[in-house]
Structure 1
Amino acid sequence: MFTQRFTGNLSFLSVVKRPASIALLLFLLVGFADGAMLPFFALWAQGEASIPVAWIGVLFGCYAGGEILATPFIGGIADRIGRRPVLLCSTLGVGLGFAMLYFSHGVFQAACVLLFIGVSESVLHPTIATVIADTIPGEKTRSYFSLARVMSNIGRAAGPAIGAVLVLHSLGTVFLGSAVALFACACLVALALPETRRAGSLADDDDNDEEGLASLLPAFRDRRLAGLLAWVVLLEMSSSWIEAVLPLYAHGAHTLTPSGVGSLFTYGALLVVVFQFPLTRMTRNASESTLIVASGVVLTMAFVALMLSSGLTTLIVAMTGFAFADMLFGPLVPAAVNAMAQDGNRATYMAAVSVANDIKDTVGPATGTALFAAGVHVPWVGGMVIAALAAWGLASSMRRSRGQDRRIP
């Protein structure tokens, strides 16, 4: 079944336009870099960096905090200077940061390097998504963003698997693997990616030459976008507790070794690889609000499973629920935001989505690990409540947004 699904996804790639196909390969490599590092980061911080559990989330926060600090000032820069130079600088910066992290010692050095990685990465994901949006017609963006998630999760599946081998040498070696993946991205951009920014877009007009937060973060001006992203932050923050806390939960209960944790995350990523695109096709006629509510229900059930047991079967069930909730919810947000944007501010709107993800990546791990330090089941109880509330709020926001679009002549 995996071979059939994977082959079907690859055959779909054959009809993708060249810039979009390169963007999909970039998602794969960036997914590999994240997958190789993230499952082992908390274990590295606890073991080799001697960071107390309650403070591990702070290092996670530094990683995302650099993105939050940088995005208001450079988040929409791809609308001004082009997609290609932004991607080249970003991939080189992130790759260099991962290499530096391998040689870092102590909390202060690690925090500074993670801030640098965050600043470099602040424009990476939104600009790759913008290349797809530049190339693909609007009515097909949801399918292509689903395919982008497939490619990203192929990387996320390979990353923990390779990382599980690298940690046999040392936990910090996974950072070198991530660095190699980002340098490969830089080579791909330099050698093969054409510029996709359209000449004469709104960003070229003199009347749109504003600077600062108001021009680069449309969430400050677009109330529909701001309302939607607020619920996105809450929903993704609760799901990030699984990513940040599950390795500590499984390791503390002596259920999984560090390599076992990597294998569990590989399993979750493979689920997305196999089922994301078929699931998107099966649900193409379902409303956005229905899919969001379904995602919230599945995520809540994953939290319930973790609250009941820390056994291997329960961890697999929870990871399965987390993966399917992500598949239902993930492609909706970039597609919905792209529908709100225009050619001249598309990268800026995608940067606003990135800000929401950065806030989630900062607040989520910090709160999740702090709650875990207070009690091993506290993150799962809190996650149940927040996931249910955020899914309901986001579904309502989507319905209101679509209703307003229909009333616009």
Structure 2
Amino acid sequence: MTTISSSWLGLPRPALLGLFLFFCAGFADGALVPFFPLWASSEADIPIGAIGLLFGCYAGGELIAAPLIGGIADRVGRRPVLILSSLGVGCGFLALFFIHGVAATAIVLILTGMCESVLHPTILTAIADVTEPSAHPRWFGMARVSSSAGQILGPACGALLALLSLSTVFLAAGGMLILGGVVMLAALGETIGSGRAGDRQEEEEEEEGLSALLPALRDGRLAKLLLWVVLFEISGNWIEAVIPLYARDAGTLSPSGVGALFAYAAALTVGLQMLVSRFAEARSALWLTAGAGLSTIAAFVLLMASPATLSLIAAVSLCSMAQMLVGPLVPTAVNALAPAARRASYMAASSVAVDLKDSLGPSIGTALYALAPRLPWAAGIPLVAIASVGLGVAIGRARQVFGPATSEACFDAEAARPETPAAWSAGPAMEEYS
């Protein structure tokens, strides 16, 4: 225990705090997302076809804000952005407990989404600021583990609260993010000055304005990568958005059972993510995304065949495995393309892709489900097949073309070889911590 404690004490504090904030955000998502469709359809009397639109309001707030404030952490610093965004999202979730009506819910979700637009990308940026580029895949994998650990406790807590009232899950979700904001206020130091020499000069030369905050408009490599991310993630999101309704209407799972199902899926990620990441170090990006695509397709086939409990468990297991294969690749590829002084802006651009997924995924998925219960799974199979191949090719190209700051200052001779998958594995710096 002493050795483990000393090892953790040697890690960069901002990175550890970033993992904690990922845990808080994962808890909030886990407590909220599986129960939101059930709350909307049962307690809020919202038609099933319109539930996806409320999900879209949350993601829409992120889409509205990301072009305007997505890269603000490059200008005012990571610390104030993380504090204000976590507190803002927490207060927004708390407000959902007290409001009533579709219009009021939509307004609160839009405002909450605007605060959330900078939360996840800024956490990843702060981690990248204080860790070596060769260690980024390992750290981003640990970020997924931290988020999934929260997603274990979140649905479990939500399942208990749902026995009282489905709306009480909003209290748990909001309270955890407010706790995260308070911890950031007390313990987080600024990381924007942790870059390599020359970053400040490069930052001063960057353009201001909308184009600087949306580098996807100027960087064609990033735009192509994010396009495939959106297509791949939209159908994967249907698992999360549609299964609660699918299981309830089939009489398979209660609301508490749905929470337990998603807690189980998160537990798989906690237990297997780092093992899968080590396995993935020796595989090409196309190999990994193809494996993720096949896993997701197999999940859809099982769901088409039956809504039985065993099918649901197997489906979320396969989708969790797909996310473990692909999840750490995307932020690593985005960070590789980004100049050091523009990390937050590039990460914010990648969050736009996630926001589109969170907006279009539930909207399309629930609309398809309203037409026919098995239609989302049938439509998802060809979409995943095409998107997984395109995503693998795009990530592979990003791994071969690094941004100026990365290629010149951040990679040593071994890690800079584009043909070597080890370029994305943990380097000597992480060996000290492990």
Aligned twin of 2:409: none
Trace 1:306-321 onto structure 2 (pairs within 5 A): 306-321=303-318
Cα RMSD (Å): 1.8
Q: Given the alignment of the two structures, is residue 287 of structure 1 paired with residue 284 of structure 2, yes or no?
A: yes
- Find 2:87's aligned residue among 92, 101, 108: 92
Trace 1:53-132 onto structure 2 (pairs within 5 A): 53-132=48-127
Aligned twin of 1:164: 159
1:82 and 1:203 map into 2 onto residues whose CA distance is 16
AA of the residue aligned to 1:237: I
Aligned twin of 2:188: 193
Trace 1:3-402 onto structure 2 (pairs within 5 A): 13-198=8-193, 201-202=199-200, 205-212=203-210, 214-402=211-399
SS at match of 1:172: helix
1:403 and 1:148 map into 2 onto residues whose CA distance is 24
Aligned twin of 2:431: none
Superposed CA offset, 1:11-32 (max 9, x none)? 9745421110110011001100
Instruction: Identify the range of structure 1 (91-100 vs 247-256) with the bigger mean alpha-carbon deviation.
Output: 91-100
Structure 2: 5+ residue stretches without partners? 403-416, 419-434
Runs of at least 4 residues off by over 4 Å: 8-15, 202-206, 403-407
Contact 1:9 1:277 in 2 (8 A): no
1:15 and 1:321 map into 2 onto residues whose CA distance is 35
Count the aligned residue pairs: 399
AA of the residue aligned to 1:253: A
**Deviation for aligned residue 1:302:** 0.4
**Deviation for aligned residue 1:342:** 1.8
AA of the residue aligned to 1:40: F
SS at match of 2:209: coil
**Deviation for aligned residue 1:375:** 0.4
Contact 2:216 2:223 in 1 (8 A): yes
SS at match of 1:143: helix
Aligned twin of 1:5: none
**Deviation for aligned residue 1:79:** 0.2
**Deviation for aligned residue 1:111:** 0.2
The change in CA–CA distance for 1:358 and 1:12 in structure 2 (over 3 A counts) is farther
**Deviation for aligned residue 1:207:** 3.2
1:10 and 1:32 map into 2 onto residues whose CA distance is 24
1:68 and 1:40 map into 2 onto residues whose CA distance is 23
AA of the residue aligned to 1:355: V
The change in CA–CA distance for 1:256 and 1:121 in structure 2 (over 3 A counts) is same
2:91 and 2:200 map into 1 onto residues whose CA distance is 34
AA of the residue aligned to 1:279: V
The change in CA–CA distance for 1:9 and 1:243 in structure 2 (over 3 A counts) is farther
1:9 and 1:361 map into 2 onto residues whose CA distance is 38
Structure 1: 5+ residue stretches without partners? 1-7
Superposed CA offset, 1:291-340 (max 9, x none)? 11111110110011000000000000001001100100100000111111
AA of the residue aligned to 2:206: N
The change in CA–CA distance for 1:9 and 1:238 in structure 2 (over 3 A counts) is farther
Contact 2:298 2:318 in 1 (8 A): yes
AA of the residue aligned to 1:207: E
The change in CA–CA distance for 1:203 and 1:105 in structure 2 (over 3 A counts) is farther
Contact 2:122 2:344 in 1 (8 A): yes
Superposed CA offset, 1:114-166 (max 9, x none)? 00110010100000111110011000100110011001000001000000011
| TM-score normalised by structure 1 residue count | 0.94
**Deviation for aligned residue 1:9:** 10
**Deviation for aligned residue 1:283:** 2.0
AA of the residue aligned to 2:384: A
**Deviation for aligned residue 1:403:** 4.6
Superposed CA offset, 1:28-74 (max 9, x none)? 01100110000000000001110000000000000110000000000
Instruction: Identify the range of structure 1 (63-72 vs 396-405) with the bigger mean alpha-carbon deviation.
Output: 396-405
1:204 and 1:192 map into 2 onto residues whose CA distance is 29
2:349 and 2:158 map into 1 onto residues whose CA distance is 31
Over the matched positions of the two proteins, sequence identity in percent amounts to 50
Aligned twin of 1:4: none
**Deviation for aligned residue 1:404:** 4.8
